[in-house]
Each structure stands twice: as structure tokens, then as C-alpha cells.
Amino acid sequence: MIRFSVTILGSSSATPTSERNPTSQLVNHRDKLFMIDCGEGTQVTLRKMKIHFQRINHIFISHLHGDHFYGLIGLISSMHLLGRDHELHVYGPPELEEVINLQLRVSQTTLVYPLIFHATRCEKPERIFENNYLEIISFPLNHRIPTTGFLFREKQGLRKVNKEKALEIKIPAWAYERIRKGENYTDEDGTTYKNTELTFNPPAPRSYAYCSDTAYYEPAIQTIENADLLYHEATFMNDREVNATDKFHSTAAQAAKIALNARVKRLIIGHFSARYDELTPLLNEAKAVFEESYLAEEGMTFSIPQLT
């Protein structure tokens, strides 16, 4: 199975606790590592988990509240001190580039590797990354300052050739790529074989949606609909819904309602207020609305299975 997983590096809101660091996650797709947000202490967690952070080539920052990016300059600096020799791409609000450049300038640091900055916008969904297998979409959320979520979505793979059938009708090697792309095959005698006779369906594309800090925001559903896995902040419980509304955050029940309405397969809740030492009540509140709910606990990895 081709790997697609999400590892929780931090799950606290605003301030760290003795048990939880501020928000950060690591997405692994085909053994390529993508970081989402980089709160204080993220690189320490990476070291504890024995994750080689020089393998991280793309970092996505959802917004400029400190609990989502105060660990970034430290990580950038450590990559520099350890002799990184390849590009690092950072995606985030336009002002983030100014923050990074200021920190490097006042510390008189000239990076030994290229840092390439990509400004995100939060007016509408926008594709901000693409390779042969994956695309990443940023999309607007509803927070006190400009904030984006991120959708990691696999591209549709090529069809699988039925090798038994291909050998039976002696399909030449040069025709395989065309057949995998969905073309029919016509042999030397003029007989045409439909592609569905020659191939199997590829695995269904998978997706992971990340909803950073946000109030309850139904417009996001259009982008994250049918995701295999959804992370949605759940800073408070329902008894503090007024607090959540005032601070443009969500409750566990509201996160679950988004998951339910978006028809996702599984929900991870996180960004927990430091007031909560015990997280089971938040999980129970979410499960009462959406059964397939899980806690974003540090060190946990959620795999997204590949289905045919």
C-alpha cells in the first residue's frame, strides 16, 4: 500500500502544557514529508520521535498566531546549522516572509540552503502545490485574522494492466503506457479491445483536510467534502460555546457537525484549550455527533488506507 499518513506533533492551543505542545502535524505521502504549522517546540518533538527533519521540504503555515508558527525560525535555523543542502519551501500569509527575513537579518544568518517562500491568500480555494501524485489546496476559514486550511488530495492514478489478458493477446510493451492512461488497443489484425477488458480500476484517490483555527464555518464544507480524514480544531466544549464564538474558535460538537455535514470518513479533533487536562469529555462530545472521532494526541499517526 502506498503510504498516506498524518502524525500529530502538537495539539495544544495558545500555550503549551506539560503534556501538549502547540499545533504541528506531519503528513507523509509516498515517503515525502510535509509539515503543517510549526508551533513552539516542534523540532524537539521531531527529535524525540526520531524523524529526520531535513527530509521535510514543504512547510505550510495556516495563520500568524504564534502557537502556529513560533517554532518555524528555530527549525529553519537548525536545518541551516546542520548543513542542509537542498531547497525548503514555506507557504503562508504574505507577512510571514517579512517575519522570517527580519529574524534572519537581525541574527546575521545567511542560510546555506535556498528558502523559497510562497504567499497564500484566503479569499478563495487555491491550488498551492502539485506533483505527479498529489495536489494541495488552501481554502479560507473564519478566524480573527486571515487563516487558511489545507486539503491534501491525491490525483487519480493510472489504470492497472491485466497482465494475463495482455499476454494472451500479445500486447507489445510500447502500448502499455497508453492502455494505463485509458486508451483502447487495436492489434495488427484490426481487432480493437476496449480498455475495460484490458485493465483494472486504479485505487480510489485519498484526501486529508486540515481545518486550523476557525469558528464554525459551513462554507469550508464544499472544499473538504468526502475527505477520508479531517482534522478540525476543537478548542472548547459546548458549555463554553460563547467563548468559542467570541474567539472565533469551535467546540468539539461543532467540529463533529462539520465532519457529519461534509460526509468525511474520520475526524481528528485538536487545538485543545490548556484548561482541559482530561480530553475524554471533548472526545465524547464529538462522538455524540460523529462516531468516527479521535483525539489529536502527540505521537499518534493516522494512516489513510488505500481502497480499490
Q: List pLDDT tens digits, range 165-215.
A: 767 787 787 777 887 888 887 777 777 878 877 777 788 899 999 999 999
Looking at the structure, tell me whether residues 231 and 251 fall in a common domain: yes
Residue 114 sits in the same domain as residue 175? no
Last residue of a domain, one of 200, 228, 251: 200
Are 123 and 246 in a shared domain? yes
Q: How far is CA 278 from CA 67, 161, 194, 273, 297, in A?
A: 21, 51, 58, 11, 12
Strands 56-60 and 88-92: parallel
Residue-wise pLDDT for 258-281, tens only, equals 999 999 999 999 999 999 999 999
What integer pLDDT is reported at residue 308 of this predicted model? Answer: 66
Q: Are 139 and 246 part of one and the same domain?
A: yes
pLDDT of the residue at 182: 81
Does 167 map to a domain?
yes
**Could you tell me if 234 and 187 lie in one domain?**
no
Domain end point (choices 168, 200, 232) = 200
User: Do the domain assignments include residue 212?
Assistant: yes
Whether 308 is covered by a domain: the verdict is no
User: Does residue 239 form part of some domain?
Assistant: yes
> Is the domain of 228 the same as that of 176?
no
Give the domain range for residue 89. 4-157+203-303
Residue 50 resides in a domain: yes
- Look at the alpha carbons of 290, 220, 24, 157 in this order and tell me if their dihedral is positive or negative: positive
Q: How many domains does the chain have?
A: 2
Together in a domain, 170 and 51: no
* Model confidence, pTM: 0.92
The neighbour count for residue 56, using CB atoms within 10 Å, is 20
Note whether 190 and 299 are same-domain residues.
no
What pLDDT sits at residue 170?
75
Question: Which pLDDT value is given to residue 161?
Answer: 75
Active site (catalytic) residues: 67
Residues 142 and 15 in one domain: yes
Are residues 52 and 136 both part of a single domain? Answer: yes
Residue 148 located in a structural domain: yes
48 and 185: one domain? no
Please tell me the distance from the alpha carbon of residue 128 to that of residue 58, in angstroms, as a whole number: 11
In this structure, the answer to whether residues 194 and 100 fall within a common structural domain is: no
For the chain, which residues score pLDDT lower than 50? Answer: none
